[in-house]
Amino acid sequence: MTFTAAGVPSIDYSGSSLRYGLIGIKPIEVVETVKRFGMKFLRITRKFDSLKTPETYSDAVTFQNEVIMSSIKIPEWFDADELIKEFSQQSIKNYESDEEFKKAVDELKKASRISGPLLSFVEFVKDRFESQRDQYLEAEAERFLRSNFPLSFYNKFVVFDNTYQEFLKILEDRVRKHEFLARCARNFEMYKKRISELRATIGPIIDQVDACFLHYSRVKKYVIVWNAKDYSELSNPKFLDVKNVDYVEFEKIFNEYGNKLMETRQFLLHLDENILCKEFGSAQYATKEAFSKLATLPYDSLNPES
């Protein structure tokens, strides 16, 4: 997992973008009168509208940072409210400037139900994550090299990358099945019912991954906050020193993250054992990925002080 400015984890906003694009929508039926060859016809199209406004993301990310900052010790040189503001504003800025995502949502809302817009949206998120995954791993490997934290610290975040990738595969499968049923609906009322069933099916899956992402973010931000000396360093402290953290507190929140990660993997395994069984021993798999990425980094990356 890599970081954007202000230490914001960049993984396509975890479930937030998916929640907005898949759960925060409602089907609508548009009836228009069109004139062709001197005759009037009724044209009926089915599209999607938003149940929530984009500001909902702002509320969600601010609440997430409030939860995180209220659950960890803050260094005396920082103010908790200011940290919440710094982390939240950068997340919101990244979210609102994501033109690619905005275009995908716009296309989802404009597309007809025949084109399978919900599945196309999930495929867009999945393809974008997979195309950037090597960058996530390389950034994580480089961050590991610029720290004296154990390799197990890095591994757990690679495992989350793996888990998120499998989550997207499961989500893709669920959306494909339910949207197909919706498209085969006899009338608009049945179509709305099928879309409602889809939201009810995928909602708990997104909730589970978001809960895991919250624990992930808490560990990352705890380490960053205690290794940054001022607000400008929140974006990327030069070196992450394990001696700067209260190791008892660090171990507590890191173990809580590990437990939530395992719970999430078991949750997804229950949904589709074929997808996750090959990687259930994911710590070993993550270690292989870790060393693979470490081996491909340039020599100057191996010097923590560079």
Q: Compute the distance between CA of residue 138 and CA of residue 140 in angstroms, rounded to an integer.
A: 5
pLDDT over 90, % of the chain: 27
- Residue by residue, DSSP assigns 115-181 as G-HHHHHHHHHHHHHHHHHHHHHHHHHHHHHTB-S-HHHHHHHHHHHHHHHHHHHHHHHHHHHHHHH
Give the lowest-confidence range in 42-46, 77-81, 132-136, 232-236. Answer: 42-46
pLDDT tens per residue across span 101-157: 878 877 776 665 556 788 888 898 898 888 888 877 777 777 788 899 988 888 888
- Helices marked H in 41-116 — which ranges? 55-70, 80-96, 99-110
pLDDT tens per residue across span 273-287: 776 555 544 455 555
Domain tally, the chain: 1
Query: Average pLDDT, whole number, for the chain?
Result: 77
Give mean pLDDT, residues 61-69: 88
Which of 217, 212, 213, 211 is CA-nearest to residue 68? 217
Helix (H) or strand (E) holding 10: strand 9-10
Residue 56: pLDDT band with limits 50, 70, 90: low
Q: Compute the distance between CA of residue 306 and CA of residue 159 in angstroms, rounded to an integer.
A: 28
Give mean pLDDT, residues 282-304: 50
- Eight-state DSSP code of residue 24: S
Which of 62, 45, 50, 63 is CA-nearest to residue 21? 50
pLDDT of 3 above 80: no
pLDDT of 299 above 60: no
| Strand partners for 25 | 50
Instruction: Give the highest mean pLDDT range of 2-16, 44-58, 205-219, 266-280.
Output: 205-219
* Amino acid 86: pLDDT: 92
Tell me how many degrees the CA angle 97-100-105 measures, rounded to the nearest 5.
100
Q: Compute the distance between CA of residue 279 and CA of residue 299 in angstroms, rounded to an integer.
A: 31
Residue with tokens 């940072």: 65
Give the lowest-confidence range in 18-32, 59-73, 121-135, 238-252. Answer: 18-32
Beta-strand pair 9-10/2-3? antiparallel
Higher-pLDDT residue of 163, 53: 163
What's the pTM?
0.78
pLDDT tens per residue across span 208-266: 998 898 899 899 999 999 999 999 888 778 899 999 999 999 999 999 999 999 999 99
**Domain encompassing residue 240:** 2-302
